Amino acid sequence: MTDYRSVNQANWDERAPVHAVSAGYGLARFREDPAYVSDVVRFDLPRLGDVRGLRGVHLQCHIGTDTVSLARLGAAMSGLDFSPAALDVARGLAADLGLDVDFHEADVYDAVGVLGAASYDLVFTGIGALCWLPSVSRWASVVAALLKPGGRLFLREGHPMLWALGSARPDGLLAVEFPYFEMPEPLVWDEPGTYVETEHVFANTVTHEWNHGLGEIVTALLDSGLVLTQLVEHDTVP
């Protein structure tokens, strides 16, 4: 298998400055409104609860909009991502907002060595993170090792059934075209753009991704010693 980390990092390094100036990520709104938090975190709040005083880490934090949002809500936050370009944006945003957020450049599988075991009350992972990882059980063991006793993971992801669907057919039906379960080899995509509106022409268009079934994710976390306290399936996607 081609080195998926290098392939995916090249793509995300190129995406980061594009996302930083996009309306979708709204960095200007963060700078203009001291109370503004990301759409992701705002949606999560009814289930996330009060994070004030918690020591938290956002894994695969990208350009840090969700990370600084949690910091604005009172958590002492760290962020970790493998893209130096994304972390440059994240550090600049936190500095502009006067927030003390420490960002670390590392692969998520190396997070314990970088951040320290049993260091966090909260591990936060947002939408579109798990698909970049070949092993969800390895990720779950990292999460468990990062958490203090009594700490918790908050995960909101795209539903794996959604990731398994193909494009709508002419007859209006949806078909399962891609694996629902984790596979040894990745799906290799070559797509010209990103998920925000931009006129940027990308040079690094190839990505390697994996799906992980809902049962696989939950079982991996249970096997790592976590206790399931909440499971919600939403009928909308962001």
Q: What is the DSSP letter of 176?
A: B
What are the tokens at 94?
A: 């936190």
Q: What's the rounded Cα separation, in Å, for the pair 81 and 19?
A: 15
* pLDDT at residue number 110: 98
Q: What's the rounded Cα separation, in Å, for the pair 169 and 167?
A: 6
What are the tokens at 88?
A: 């440059």
Q: What's the rounded Cα separation, in Å, for the pair 78 and 156?
A: 18
pLDDT in tens, 101-112: 999 999 999 999
> Whole-model pTM?
0.96
Contact 117, 145 (CB under 8 A): yes
* pLDDT at residue number 28: 96
Q: What's the rounded Cα separation, in Å, for the pair 110 and 119?
A: 14
The 10 Å Cβ neighbour count of residue 2 is 10
Residue segments in the chain with a per-residue pLDDT below the cut of 70: 1-2
Q: Provide Rg for the chain, Cα atoms.
A: 18
* pLDDT at residue number 1: 46
Domains and CATH numbers, the chain: 4-223 (3.40.50.150)
Q: What's the rounded Cα separation, in Å, for the pair 138 and 102?
A: 24
* pLDDT at residue number 143: 98
* pLDDT at residue number 215: 98
* pLDDT at residue number 237: 78
Q: Is 146 left (phi over 0), alpha (psi -120 to 50) or beta?
A: alpha
* pLDDT at residue number 2: 61
